[in-house]
């Protein structure tokens, strides 16, 4: 790598910006985790919420705080750290832009949180119209998104500065990946920003009377699917470019990693209809077309799986491992920075398979809006992604605060990861099973008038409560570790690991950084997948819906 | 590129093309695609608009029934439907207020029912029994109470 501008440490000033993001993220983990615990307890049928708090209010807290706040803050913080580490310290201007982003996002979070607590926004994080929340809720979410654009601008500006200073050299892999994810995020959030600014805000302020329901759902899901890739790609950054260094191996192929990220940029967005497969008003041919595009996003994930296990195997064999699986023993299982994200990687195998089922057009009818789907994204987001984020925190937090991950904390971190795996096996497993039997997602406890079918679901709901309680313990452990690493761990130097490429001679082709080309294809694919159905939706729109506040 | 990498990519593409062909064939040749009816309706005039001015069940053929149903917070109209075993039931649905879901446990009936749109879905009920019908899209404080049954005799 021998690049002159590369610094081995993230600058203290950048570190403070990143840590600010992490503080909010981990407060969100505490709040959202508690909400999750309350939900599984209520749904077991053995517990009722005190003080007139509603189940759906708690559910809204859980979704907003974990799905939007925790993720966006952590990801933006991590990406800023990765860029600062691999492309050099941010300029003062870039850092100020980052701080503006942070404060906008924080202000937006507080606005949305207050409205949820006042029970003015019990519309869940998907805020499907015509349920109508308070305007300040929508405004708060807009602030979160706009703030994330400022963070994204800091990342892109830092990258362009590096790019100009190093003509003809491929950018550092982690910077490249952060830029791809940021660009995808910006293109994707245009959808949700459009529905909020032009539909939901004016409607909730009473400036217009009615809202086009299908259009707002379509704009939401144009954003909603790439949202899951926005969560996943930072985990892939860690798996591709950081884990190899942690285990003492090499990155299998730099070009393969870049190619898979470009494929995610291209195919993550024009696929939102796979969340709307059972909806009226959308032409079946266009639904199927987006299903085909959805299938194409599977390819880069399969490439990632190959690349990771190739890294592990070649590392093990370089240490003299023999036989088909001898290399497994060589991996550093006692190092939480590796083993906790590794649990995440394993969970992505059933998670990915479940995702293919969900996306499979008519097969979606079997699972749509059942709790199977909740089980699915608790394997993807709430295991694969979040355990990787935890794994990153174990070294990144002490790196930024000038402390060290001690042996004791490392041990606790592994216990945390194992506890998570156990809790999630119960919770997500029971959710998948109950979903196949028809149990709905996003529903409070109900015996459905004593229906025998609903009675079959209750044992699974109790298993969910058991799993959820174990997960809550793991969250408390994680918060304890975070606080230790941020404030109490002994002073020292904790390395920010950055992987090196196996074959130094292999130089990534510069075409990967031809952004006009990739953004051009991205836009063409989006226009191809969405133009005709959108025109059809708008031209043939029924009269819109008035707002309802039904909670 | 390593040989094993090529094999892996080939298998990946092969598998995905297989999935596409199978789902595509089932959806379009066998008519198994998900519900996508494209009729519009004024959501505030559902009660005055045919066929929803007369929700209910009609026999339309040998072992064939049509059910015209409205969904509203937090109920289905009509509720308590009865059909003989072996009947095919064609549901015509719309919402009078917010977005609801129409799901029948132990069947493949699963459709979004949105204000402004008419949704259609059909199902053959072979086995006798009480089928639980429920709303599976969050629609407000009473969402978990929104249910009815279809009795197959
Ligand atoms: Cu999706
Ligand atoms: Cu409902």
Catalytic sites of A, residue numbers = 225, 229, 376-378, 441-442
pLDDT of residue A2: 40
Domains annotated on chain A, with CATH: 12-539 (1.20.210.10)
- Let me know if domain B39-152 sits in CATH 2.60.40.420: yes
Distance B66 CA to ligand 1 centre (A): 34
Q: What is the mean pLDDT of chain B?
A: 93
Q: For residue B76, give the ligand nearest its CA.
A: 2
Average pLDDT over residues B129-140: 94
What token pair was written down for A209? 């009377």
Distance (Å, whole) CA B46 – CA B94: 8
**pLDDT tens sequence across A358-416:** 999 999 999 999 999 999 999 999 999 999 999 999 999 999 999 999 999 999 999 99
**pTM to 2 decimal places:** 0.95
| pLDDT one-digit tens code per residue, A138-171 | 999 999 999 999 999 999 999 999 999 999 999 9
- Residue A300, chain B, CB below 8 Å: the answer is no
Give the pLDDT band of residue A5 (cuts 50, 70, 90).
Answer: very low
Residue whose pair of structure tokens reads 């290399």 in the numeric block: A327
What 3 state SS string does chain B have?
Answer: CCHHHHHHHHHHHHHHHHHHHHHHHHHHHCCCCCCCCCEECCCCCHHHCCCCCCCEEEEEECCEEEEEEEEECCEEECCCEEECCCEEEEEEEEECCCCEEEEECCCCCEEEECECEEEEEEEEECCCEEEEEECCCCCCCCHHHCEEEEEEC
Instruction: Please indicate if any CB of chain A lies within 8 Å of the CB of B110.
Output: yes
Report the pLDDT value the prediction gives residue A504, as an integer from 0 to 100: 66
In this prediction, residues A275-304 reach a mean pLDDT of 92
Is any Cβ of chain B less than 8 angstroms from the Cβ of A360? yes
Q: What is the pLDDT of residues B57-81, one digit of tens each?
A: 999 999 999 999 999 999 999 988 9
CA–centroid distance, residue A546 to ligand 2 (Å): 16
Cβ atoms of A330 and A321 closer than 8 Å: yes
Of A6 and A419, the one with more pLDDT: A419
Q: Can you tell me whether residue A325 is helix, strand or coil? A: coil
Nearest to A542 among B28, B116, B139 (CB): B116
* ipTM of model: 0.94
Task: Give the 3-state DSSP-derived string for A129-165, with helices as H, strands as E and coil as C.
Answer: CCECCCHHHHHHHHHHHHHHHHHHHHHHHHHHHHHHH
pLDDT computed for residue A324 by the predictor:
85
Cβ of residue A299 closer than 8 Å to a chain B Cβ: yes
pLDDT tens-place string over residues B20-34: 999 999 999 898 899
| Distance of CA A181 from the midpoint of ligand 2 (Å) | 36
Contact criterion met (CB < 8 Å) for A298 and B5: no
pLDDT the model gives residue A1: 40
Percent of chain A with pLDDT over 70: 98
Closest residue in chain A to residue B107, using alpha carbons only? A366
Per the structure block, which two tokens stand in for B2? 């390593």
């Amino acid at each position: 790598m021998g690049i002159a501008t590369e610094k081995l440490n993230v600058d203290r000033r950048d570190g403070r910006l990143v840590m600010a993001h992490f503080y909010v993220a981990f407060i969100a983990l505490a709040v959202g985790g508690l909400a999750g615990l309350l939900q599984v307890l209520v749904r077991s049928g053995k517990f009722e919420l005190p003080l007139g708090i509603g189940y759906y209010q708690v559910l809204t807290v859980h979704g907003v705080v974990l799905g939007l706040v925790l993720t966006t803050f952590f990801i933006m913080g991590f990406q800023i750290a990765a860029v600062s580490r691999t492309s050099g310290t941010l300029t003062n201007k870039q850092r100020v832009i980052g701080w503006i982003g942070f404060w906008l996002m924080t202000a937006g979070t507080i606005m949305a949180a207050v409205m949820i607590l006042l029970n003015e926004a019990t519309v869940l994080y998907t805020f499907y119209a015509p349920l109508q929340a308070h305007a300040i809720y929508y405004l708060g979410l807009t602030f979160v998104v706009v703030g994330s654009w400022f963070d994204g601008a800091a990342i892109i500006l830092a990258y362009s500065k590096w790019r100009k200073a190093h003509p003809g050299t491929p950018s550092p892999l982690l910077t490249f990946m952060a830029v791809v994810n940021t660009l995808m995020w910006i293109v994707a959030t245009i959808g949700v920003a459009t529905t909020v600014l032009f539909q939901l805000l004016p409607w909730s302020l009473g400036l217009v009377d009615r809202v086009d329901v299908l259009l707002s759902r379509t704009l939401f899901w144009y954003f909603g699917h790439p949202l899951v890739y926005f969560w996943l790609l930072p985990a892939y950054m860690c798996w591709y470019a950081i884990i190899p260094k942690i285990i003492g191996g090499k990155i299998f192929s730099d070009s393969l990693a870049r190619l898979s990220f470009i494929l995610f940029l291209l195919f993550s967005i024009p696929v939102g209809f796979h969340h709307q497969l059972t909806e009226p008003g959308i032409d079946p041919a266009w639904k199927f077309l987006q299903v085909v595009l959805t299938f194409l996003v599977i390819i880069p994930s399969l490439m990632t799986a190959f690349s990771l296990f190739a890294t592990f195997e070649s590392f093990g064999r370089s240490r003299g491992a023999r036989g088909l699986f001898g290399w497994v023993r060589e991996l550093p299982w006692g190092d939480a920075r590796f083993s906790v994200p590794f649990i995440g990687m394993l969970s992505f195998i059933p998670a990915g398979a479940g995702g293919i089922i969900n996306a499979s057009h008519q097969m979606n009818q079997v699972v749509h809006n059942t709790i199977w789907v909740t089980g699915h994204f608790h394997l993807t987001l709430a295991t694969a992604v979040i355990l990787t984020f935890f794994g990153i925190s174990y070294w990144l937090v002490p790196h930024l605060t000038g402390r060290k991950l001690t042996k004791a904390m490392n041990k606790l971190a592994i216990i945390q990861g194992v506890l998570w795996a156990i809790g999630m096996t119960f919770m997500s497993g029971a959710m998948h099973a109950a979903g196949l039997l028809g149990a709905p997602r996003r529903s409070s406890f109900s015996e459905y008038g004593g229906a025998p079918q609903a009675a079959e679901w209750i044992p699974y709901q109790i298993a969910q409560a058991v799993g959820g309680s174990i997960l809550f313990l793991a969250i408390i452990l994680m918060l304890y570790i975070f606080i230790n690493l941020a404030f109490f761990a002994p002073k020292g130097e904790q390395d920010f690991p950055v992987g090196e490429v196996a074959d130094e001679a292999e130089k990534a082709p510069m075409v990967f950084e031809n952004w006009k080309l990739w953004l051009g294809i991205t836009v063409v694919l989006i226009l191809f997948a969405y133009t005709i159905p959108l025109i059809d939706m708008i031209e043939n729109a029924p009269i819109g819906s008035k707002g309802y506040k039904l909670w | 590129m390593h040989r094993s990498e090529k094999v892996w990519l080939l298998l990946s593409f092969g598998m995905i093309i297989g999935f596409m062909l199978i789902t595509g064939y089932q959806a379009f040749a066998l008519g198994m695609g998900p519900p996508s009816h494209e009729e519009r309706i004024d959501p505030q005039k559902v009660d005055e608009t045919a066929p929803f001015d007369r929700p209910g069940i009609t026999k339309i053929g040998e072992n064939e029934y049509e059910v015209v149903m409205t969904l509203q917070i937090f109920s289905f109209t009509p509720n308590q439907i009865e059909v003989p075993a072996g009947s095919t039931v064609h549901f015509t649905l719309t919402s009078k207020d917010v977005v609801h879901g129409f799901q029948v446990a132990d069947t493949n009936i699963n459709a979004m029912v949105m204000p402004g749109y008419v949704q259609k879905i059909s199902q053959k009920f072979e086995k006798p029994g009480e089928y639980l019908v429920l709303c599976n899209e969050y629609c407000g404080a009473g969402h978990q109470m929104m249910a009815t049954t279809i009795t197959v005799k």
